[in-house]
Every structure is written in structure tokens, then in C-alpha cells.
């Protein structure tokens, strides 16, 4: 038996919970305390759990910076669990799975070999934060393979009617989240398109992304546009309850100001009018913070996609925080372009999962062993 935990209350969280509950041979658990440690405790000791368990899943919002919108244990606070929460539970052993809960491994009925002990994260992008996942695996006792996607993870609810058969289910697909980050505002559509084009990004099969791809998705006024969604024709092979396609609205563009901080600092003793002056002021103020130490398991600059502290500083503009005296915050512009992940070299085939209440057309096309789609930490 597989077991899952998805405690959140957003629309996405509820769809994730439905998706997990409709997976074959899967039980959705609701521990008395809604955190991962309580879920793990049930797996280890609760009489209702059939051991050894198959796979374990948690469902929640995630982020490539190494953030999960779920409490890890009873001392978690705030909206997100980050690397500090993982390190704390690694020390306390609050998330540690017992070998008795997992071994001996159940035999896979198709391959007739023992199945891998999988701890699956259903949520966006945290697969890009490899160091976060490596420490999460340690916190879980080093006995499971942690699986997550580096892409955006979408669950869409659909009811597909075919004759007298009504399949009420959840479609799971992955979407690209291509990003351009800059400390300055780009002037217009052509500048944003140029910035994406210069990154020489590729589709997951390695094919170069043409300039026309960006041109089709970046709006004429990218600074004045918060988010753009457009209907996308999704083609299914095999069909879903007889239906060859669906047309949901999916994100194709988003612009936002992204903050980092704030940090309490000393009052400036010199001019800080220009971007360079503000940057140099803040560089001296926060360079010795522990979250930037090279010895940190996952330094903040790495979480934000930079290779060094100096690159992190230069990648933001720095301003005094509104309504917070003596606190300063870093800001950057984030332009993101999205599209469903298909395989261009395979006739743009769409990898997808589909589960429904009638089990009329269950399909699992999102292979967790495909390293283009998922990251597995063994």
C-alpha cells in the first residue's frame, strides 16, 4: 500500500490531495498534527498502516529556492519550510523513517523485483534545489529515494464525458518555467525577448528554443503586465475516456518584483543615491551573515541561483524597506515564460498522468526515472 499526505487548503493543494488519493493502492493519511513529522510517525507506528509500505508522497506548493509550503514538524513557523527547517529536523530525527516501515521491499507486480523506497514530492520546482533535497533525504533517515520535479507541477480538474461514461479526475502535467532575472527593468517586449534569446535555452530533449517561441509569449507591454494565461490544446495519447484533447488556460508569461531580505543595517554614513552606492553599502552590511557563509549547507546566494555572494549582490538593487526603519531589502525583476512540457523530437508528445474516480482511463506517463522531468536523490 502507498501512503500520501497533502494538508494544504489552497485550490492547488486540494487538487494534489485528490490526485494522490485517486492513485491506485494509495491511502491519504490525515495525522492529528498536520506536519510531515506526524505523517512519518503514522508510517512508522500507526496500526492502520500496512508495512512495509510502498511509496510515500507529500503534496504542497514548492519553489526552486528550496521552499516547501508545508510544516515539517511541530516547531515549524511561517508559511514555508526552508533549508533551516530541514537541517533542524535532520538533527532532531523528527522525520526519520524506520527500516521496519520500509523493508523488506514489496515486489513490483510488473517487473517482479523489489520496488524502490520512494518519497515523492508533488509540487512545483523544488527538484531544482538539489542541496535542499539531499538534506531532506538525510532527515528522512537516508533510507528513501527522494523524487521531485525541477519544473512547475500542474494539477487540473476535469470531467470527461464519453457516451454514458463520466470520468471525473485530475490531470497532472509539467510546465516550463523559463526565467530572466535582472536588477533593472527591461524597456519593452523586444528587450525581454532578446534577454531570453541570449540565454540559449533548450527544450527538454536538447532542441534549441527559437526566438519566435519567446516572441509569441512575451506581451507588448511586459512591465505593465502581471500575468498572461492562454488556452492551450493538450493532445493525449492514449485518449482520456475517449477524448483526444482538452483546452485549459495555462500561464504563458508573468512579471513580478521579487524581494530578498530584509536585513537590519546601520545607518549609511555616506551617499547612497545611486544603484552602485546602495549596492556597495549593503555588500559591507550583510557579507558576514551566516546565511552567506561558504560553509553553509545551502547558502542563500545559491538558493537564489547565484554562484557567489558578489554575484548575488550585483543581481539586485537595494532599497530601504518601506515602513521598516533601518531595514533594507534587495529587489530584482523576474520575467518568466511558461509552456506545457512536450517532447519536440517525439511529435510533441505530452507526458501526463491521469487519474479518475471510475478508473476508466488511468494513465501514468510522467516517469520519475526520466531525469529530464524529475530529480531523484538516491
81 and 203 assigned to the same domain: no
Which pLDDT score is estimated for 8? Answer: 92
Q: Return left, alpha or beta for 261; rule: phi > 0 is left, psi -120 to 50 is alpha, else beta.
A: left
Domains identified in the chain, total number: 2
pLDDT, mean of residues 56-65: 97
Start-end of H helices in 140-270: 189-198, 211-217
Compute the radius of gyration of the chain from its Cα atoms.
23
Residue 172 lies in a domain: no
Residue 166 lies in a domain: no
pLDDT, mean of residues 157-177: 90
Confidence check: pLDDT of 323 > 90: no
98 and 201 assigned to the same domain: no
215 and 268 assigned to the same domain: yes
70 and 30 assigned to the same domain: yes
State the CB neighbour count (10 A cutoff) for residue 223. Answer: 15
Residue 255 lies in a domain: yes
Which pLDDT score is estimated for 361? Answer: 83
Cα–Cα distance, 283 to 277 (Å, whole number):
10
25 and 92 assigned to the same domain: yes
pTM for the model stands at 0.94
194-207, pLDDT tens digit by residue? 999 999 999 999 99
132 and 259 assigned to the same domain: no
Cα–Cα distance, 341 to 330 (Å, whole number):
32
214 and 308 assigned to the same domain: yes
Residue 156 lies in a domain: no
Q: Mean pLDDT for the chain? A: 95
Confidence check: pLDDT of 111 > 80: no
Confidence check: pLDDT of 94 > 80: yes
Final residue of a structural domain among 128, 148, 168 = 148
Residue 123 lies in a domain: yes
208 and 128 assigned to the same domain: no
Final residue of a structural domain among 130, 148, 166 = 148
66-84, pLDDT tens digit by residue? 999 999 999 998 889 999 9
pLDDT, mean of residues 299-319: 97
235, exposed or middle or buried, with CB in 10 Å at 0-12, 13-18, 19+?
A: middle
Cα–Cα distance, 49 to 37 (Å, whole number):
15
110 and 182 assigned to the same domain: no
Percent of the chain with pLDDT over 90: 87
Q: Are 53 and 43 in contact (CB under 8 A)?
A: yes
Residue 12 lies in a domain: yes
State the CB neighbour count (10 A cutoff) for residue 51. Answer: 15
Q: Are 156 and 137 in contact (CB under 8 A)?
A: no
134 and 196 assigned to the same domain: no
Q: Are 353 and 155 in contact (CB under 8 A)?
A: no
Cα angle, residue 69 at apex, residues 158 and 88 outer, rounded to 5° = 150
Which pLDDT score is estimated for 309? Answer: 98
Which pLDDT score is estimated for 112? Answer: 75
Which residue segment(s) compose the domain that 206 sits in?
177-340
Residue 122 lies in a domain: yes
Which pLDDT score is estimated for 160? Answer: 85
Q: Are 210 and 196 in contact (CB under 8 A)?
A: no
Start-end of H helices in the chain: 11-22, 36-45, 83-92, 99-102, 130-139, 189-198, 211-217, 275-286, 300-303, 309-314
Residue 317 lies in a domain: yes
246-267, pLDDT tens digit by residue? 999 999 999 999 999 999 999 9
pLDDT, mean of residues 366-377: 97
Confidence check: pLDDT of 21 > 80: yes
Backbone angles phi and psi of 203, in degrees to 5: -70, 170
140 and 190 assigned to the same domain: no
Percent of the chain with pLDDT over 70: 100
181 and 246 assigned to the same domain: yes
Helix axes 83-92, 130-139, angle to 10 degrees: 20
Per DSSP, the three-state class of 155 is strand
Amino acid at each position: 500500500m502507498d501512503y500520501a499526505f497533502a494538508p494544504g487548503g489552497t485550490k492547488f493543494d486540494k487538487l494534489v490531495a485528490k490526485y494522490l488519493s485517486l492513485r491506485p493502492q494509495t491511502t491519504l493519511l490525515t495525522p492529528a498534527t498536520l506536519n510531515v513529522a506526524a505523517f512519518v510517525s503514522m508510517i512508522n507506528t500507526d496500526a492502520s498502516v500496512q508495512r512495509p509500505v510502498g511509496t510515500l508522497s507529500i503534496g504542497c506548493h514548492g519553489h526552486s529556492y528550496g521552499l516547501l509550503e508545508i510544516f515539517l514538524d511541530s516547531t515549524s513557523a511561517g508559511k514555508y519550510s526552508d533549508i533551516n527547517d530541514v537541517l533542524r529536523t535532520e538533527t532532531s530525527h523528527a522525520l526519520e523513517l524506520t527500516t521496519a516501515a520500509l523493508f523488506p521491499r514489496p515486489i513490483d507486480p510488473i517487473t517482479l523485483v523489489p520496488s524502490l523506497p520512494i518519497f515523492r514530492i508533488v509540487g512545483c520546482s523544488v527538484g531544482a534545489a538539489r542541496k535542499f533535497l539531499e538534506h531532506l533525504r538525510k532527515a528522512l533517515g537516508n533510507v528513501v529515494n527522494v523524487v521531485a520535479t525541477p519544473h512547475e507541477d500542474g494539477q487540473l480538474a476535469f470531467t470527461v464525458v464519453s457516451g454514458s461514461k463520466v470520468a471525473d479526475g485530475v490531470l497532472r502535467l509539467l510546465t516550463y518555467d523559463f526565467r530572466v532575472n535582472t536588477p533593472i527593468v527591461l524597456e519593452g517586449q523586444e528587450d525581454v525577448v532578446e534577454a531570453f534569446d541570449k540565454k540559449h535555452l533548450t527544450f527538454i530533449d536538447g532542441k534549441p528554443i527559437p526566438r519566435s517561441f519567446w516572441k509569441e509569449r512575451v506581451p507588448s507591454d511586459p512591465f505593465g503586465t502581471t500575468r498572461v494565461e492562454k488556452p492551450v490544446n493538450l493532445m493525449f495519447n492514449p485518449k482520456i475516456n475517449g477524448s483526444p484533447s482538452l483546452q485549459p488556460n495555462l500561464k504563458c508569461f508573468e512579471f513580478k518584483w521579487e524581494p530578498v531580505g530584509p536585513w537590519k543595517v546601520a545607518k549609511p554614513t555616506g551617499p547612497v543615491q545611486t544603484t552602485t552606492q546602495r549596492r556597495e553599502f549593503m555588500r559591507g552590511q550583510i557579507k558576514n551573515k551566516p546565511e552567506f557563509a561558504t560553509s553553509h549547507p545551502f547558502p542563500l546566494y545559491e538558493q537564489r541561483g547565484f554562484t557567489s555572494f558578489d554575484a548575488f549582490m550585483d543581481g539586485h538593487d537595494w532599497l530601504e524597506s518601506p515602513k521598516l526603519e533601518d531595514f533594507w531589502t534587495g529587489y530584482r525583476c523576474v520575467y518568466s515564460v511558461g509552456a506545457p512540457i512536450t517532447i519536440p523530437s517525439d511529435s510533441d508528445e505530452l507526458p501526463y498522468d491521469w487519474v479518475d474516480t471510475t478508473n476508466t482511463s488511468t494513465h501514468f506517463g510522467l516517469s520519475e526515472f526520466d531525469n529530464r522531468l524529475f530529480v531523484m536523490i538516491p
